[in-house]
Amino acid sequence: MSPVRCRVFSRTGPALCPHLFLCPLRSHRARFNMDLMENLTQHIHRDTISPHPVGQGGYSDIYTGIWNSVYGERKVAIKVIRATPSVSTSGEMPRALRREISVWRRLLHPNIHGLCGVYEGIGPLPALVSLWNDNGDINKFVRQHAADTDVASLKLNLFAGVANGLKHLHDNHIVHGDIKGGNVLISDQGVARLCDFGLSRLLLDHSQSTTTTGRGTGTVRWMAPELLEEGVCHSFATDIWACGCLFIEVWSDVKPYHTKRNDQQVFLAHARREGPDRPPDIPDMLWLIVEACCCIDTAKRTSISHVIMYIRGLLISQRVLPTAASSRSIEPVEREPLREITQQLSEVSLPTDGDLDTEIVRIFGLWTLSPGNSGQLRGAVFQWCLAKLSIRGLHLPAGVDTPPVENDDLLGTFSASHERAMLRLLAKLVEQERPGLADQLMKKFSTPTLGCLLNIDMDVRSVTWVPDGSRIAVGCGNSHVRILDAATGTTVHRLSGHTDQVNQVAVSPNGSLVASCSNDRSIRLWDTVTGLAFGAPLVGHSNFAKSVVFSPDGTRVVSGSDDGTIRVWSTETCTPVQLGPLPRHRGRVETVAYSPDGSRIVSGSRDRTVRIWNAHTGGAVLTLDGHTGWIRSVAYSPDGLHIVSGSKDCTVRIWNVATGQQVGAPLVGHNKSVSHVAYSPDGTRIVSSSDDGTIRLWNAETRASITTLAGHTGTILSAAFSPDGKRLASASQGGTVCVWDATDEWMRWDI
């Protein structure tokens, strides 16, 4: 029998055999499908292979060699599987080897160490060939850079690479099974790459756990405790646990469970369902993600996507926040809240979604809440961030409490004066680090709310602006009319005289008078300067007066009532104007409006029709049919060519005044009754309010939705554009009056 040159294997590694003999394990090569990977045997000269292993694993030894590739000579690592007596009889190792090749060969990712091919010539089994990395593993690399000033950023970048590589595995339904520092190599470019797929499994049927095949459960100190249980195997969740242990290992240069002297103590900690011990040098912000990875409850253990988003947020914030604290371009009004935020920034909440912009605001808003580091402003900033993110998922270290806001008014003052300036500044800085993220930040976390002017314990049923934009008139459910300062919300006048709830208010074109209508069936006029009643009440309706509006010249008001009639009144004499009888609606009149030229009156009724009347003769002009619910609000466009109506059927409709035909399809978006509609002063937009608690802005020409404003806690009964069209005022059944930015400036960071 012809002798075959072979190697003798031992636990300390192979050495060249001094004798020539037939190796019985040679037959395994015949059973191994060499078509799985390129055979590099002819391209790696034996003389270039190291005489002894340069590294060892659990069941393999690593040699180096020179590969004559198409790109030139490359130093490679040659992973040689150790042969044991059981291999020759059971064939277990060849199956494990085939599995490793099967998994490794399909992986192509910047954070996965690539498999180049196989090599025959060292031992009985094919050896696995990959490029050599002079930087070594992640622990060696970090130790070499321990004195660098930016070593924290270096570690975070490496963690991001590990997480990206692990996500690639999980996205391809592969569990690694042995995540630890020794299995993360660092490329010549400083990129972290996962390696050693000996325990990796390709998940079948896209499940999240493996079947019990092969040997080994990974390295004890990185092993998830559930792997001790009968029938539990590696899964995505066990990889996440090991990833958290890797963060401990690399950041602190200690092994996980570093207070446990041996593996037996680690097993005991697992049995007690104890997580890894916290090294003293790990900052809170990193420990929180370690806790999320190493959560005993697998159902609550975080995902690799959350880990990636969290680390990316930390990396960006680490660069942005110091700039925010020291930038000379910061305005004085912005500097103090930023200083408060960045003073001891080290606390963040766990991710509850996968959005990078959310993580940035988390890190921006949560910081060390240590004793002696308090302050009302800091508490207000914290509360603002919680309001933006919701308290769901908030996680703080043991013993750390949410800071109280002693003065409730402080938060409102802070939000009004600092919120948008803070967010714009953060967006500008973040945009420099990651273009495109600033828009996401503004859209998600900025708000069009400019302030709450009134909050009372009763309905606010109607709101309108004084023509100069300095004041707002509101009608309340307690029979009062209030005139508010539009900037401060201060009540300028409180007008008393009605004996029942006020349904609507209107202001004359010159701003001198306010008209109000009430369930007491009367219409009253008020002097906006003195706050006194102007003339006698206008009485004539036999049921609730629901709507009132001034004519364009201010000499008349028109009112609609639940008695089904429309009445016109002189503001000079406070008496009815005799137009002849206006035909009655078949139902209650909910809303009325004048055309811009004063020649027409439009009304909406519970009979589901919109009707146009001649304002001089009282004659009927057109009836507009189409709504399937009763009409709650109507308004003319500034050019007088169109009418907009809002209905109980949840739709907004636009009508051509000349033809009486509906223009296009209904504007659909509200899911409850539309309570009020109005055109912007330039006629380009329409505002609608609804019982669903939202306000919507629409493009009047295209009928497309522009934005939805949410913030009221109940039914919104009225909404009105400011005279310049840049603001909106709204009134709610919950007793609030809010002012909104009606432009897109609230979403812009570049102004």
Mean pLDDT of 365-393: 44
Mean pLDDT of 390-400: 43
Residues 450-746: name the CATH superfamily: YVTN repeat-like/Quinoprotein amine dehydrogenase (2.130.10.10)
Q: Binding residue per annotation — 388?
A: no
Cα 334 to Cα 343, 346, 368, 443, distances in angstroms: 14, 21, 20, 20
Percent of the chain with pLDDT over 90: 44
Element (H, E) at 35: none
Q: What's the confidence (pLDDT) of residue 69?
A: 85
Give the rounded distance of the alpha carbon of 372 from its chain centre.
32
Residue 511 contacts by C-beta under 8 Å, 6 or more apart in sequence?
Answer: 466, 467, 468, 528
Domain boundaries, the chain: 7-131, 138-302, 320-446, 450-746
CB contact at 8 A, 125 and 83: yes
540-575: pLDDT as tens digits: 999 999 999 999 999 999 999 999 999 999 999 999
Please say if the pLDDT value at position 619 is more than 80: yes
Between 634 and 619, whose confidence is greater? Answer: 634
Q: What's the confidence (pLDDT) of residue 480?
A: 94
Q: What is the mean pLDDT of the chain?
A: 79
| Model confidence, pTM | 0.58
Q: What's the confidence (pLDDT) of residue 1?
A: 34
173-228: pLDDT as tens digits: 888 888 999 889 999 899 999 987 655 554 433 333 333 333 344 578 998 988 88
Between 60 and 675, whose confidence is greater? Answer: 675
Please say if the pLDDT value at position 19 is more than 80: no
Q: Which two tokens stand for residue 319?
A: 């660069």
Q: What's the confidence (pLDDT) of residue 397?
A: 42
Rg (CA), the chain: 37
- Positive or negative, the CA dihedral 377, 378, 381, 383 is negative
Model confidence at 399, in pLDDT bands (50, 70, 90)? very low
- Positive or negative, the CA dihedral 88, 89, 93, 99 is positive
The CATH classification number of 138-302 equals 1.10.510.10
Element (H, E) at 28: helix 27-31
Give the per-residue SS3 of 339-406: HHHHCCCCCCCCCCCCCHHHHHHHHHHCCCCCCCCCCHHHHHHHHHHHHHHCCCCCCCCCCCCCCCCC
- Positive or negative, the CA dihedral 233, 234, 238, 243 is positive
C-alpha–C-alpha distance, residues 513 and 518, integer Å: 17
- Least confident window among 124-128, 188-192, 735-739: 124-128
C-alpha–C-alpha distance, residues 503 and 518, integer Å: 5
Q: What's the confidence (pLDDT) of residue 750?
A: 82
Between 429 and 556, whose confidence is greater? Answer: 556
Please say if the pLDDT value at position 354 is more than 70: no
Give the rounded distance of the alpha carbon of 101 from its chain centre.
40
Please say if the pLDDT value at position 18 is more than 70: no
Mean pLDDT of 244-253: 95
Q: What's the confidence (pLDDT) of residue 2?
A: 35
Model confidence at 485, in pLDDT bands (50, 70, 90)? very high
Between 409 and 665, whose confidence is greater? Answer: 665
Cα 331 to Cα 316, 328, 379, 424, 425, distances in angstroms: 22, 8, 21, 12, 10
Residue 394 contacts by C-beta under 8 Å, 6 or more apart in sequence?
Answer: 349, 350, 386
Q: What's the confidence (pLDDT) of residue 80?
A: 87
Cα 446 to Cα 377, 388, 415, 441, distances in angstroms: 19, 9, 11, 7
Mean pLDDT of 27-35: 42
C-alpha–C-alpha distance, residues 246 and 224, integer Å: 12
- Of 536, 478, 682, nearest to 596 by C-alpha is 682
Between 399 and 697, whose confidence is greater? Answer: 697
Please say if the pLDDT value at position 297 is more than 70: yes
- Of 179, 182, 196, 185, nearest to 111 by C-alpha is 185
- Kindly state the DSSP code that residue 415 receives in the 8-state scheme: I
Q: Which two tokens stand for residue 170?
A: 């999980």
- Positive or negative, the CA dihedral 340, 344, 350, 356 is positive
C-alpha–C-alpha distance, residues 732 and 477, integer Å: 11
Please say if the pLDDT value at position 22 is more than 80: no
Percent of the chain with pLDDT over 70: 73
Q: What's the confidence (pLDDT) of residue 388?
A: 53
CB contact at 8 A, 569 and 575: yes
Please say if the pLDDT value at position 408 is more than 70: no
Query: How many CA atoms, within 13 angstroms, populate the side-chain half-sphere of residue 702?
Result: 6
Residues 7-131: name the CATH superfamily: Phosphorylase Kinase; domain 1 (3.30.200.20)
Q: Which one-letter amino acid corresponds to residue 561? A: S
Bridging pattern class, strands 491-495 and 502-507? unpaired
Mean pLDDT of 528-532: 94
Please say if the pLDDT value at position 672 is more than 80: yes
Q: What's the confidence (pLDDT) of residue 309?
A: 79
Q: Is 614 exposed, middle or buried (0-12, 13-18, 19+ CB in 10 A)?
A: middle
Q: Which two tokens stand for residue 567?
A: 């009445």
